[in-house]
Amino acid sequence: MAQPRKTYVVLVPFPYRGHWTAKDQKLDLLPCEARQLLRAGRIGDQSTQAVKKPAAKKAD
């Protein structure tokens, strides 16, 4: 049975399929492809990524 791909977000750029990835790029990877990249901290699980909110403006 084929393993399902999962979407990950690049935290630290790395070479992938002949090109360099970019920070915050989304990649669909197989579990066997993602295992070492997760362990090295180069990618993060998309579902666990914090949503970036704009900084609140300080009132004078």
Span 39-53, mean pLDDT? Answer: 75
Nearest to 45 by CA among 27, 32, 23: 27
Res 19: pLDDT:
94
Residue 59's pLDDT band, with cuts at 50, 70 and 90, is low
Span 20-41, mean pLDDT? Answer: 95
Residue 54 clears pLDDT 80, i.e. is over it? no
Residues 46/26, Cβ–Cβ less than 8 Å: yes
Span 3-32, mean pLDDT? Answer: 94
Length of the chain, please?
60
- The pTM (predicted TM-score) of the whole model is 0.70
Q: What 3-state class would DSSP assign to 33?
A: helix
- What does the block give as tokens for 45? 């699980």
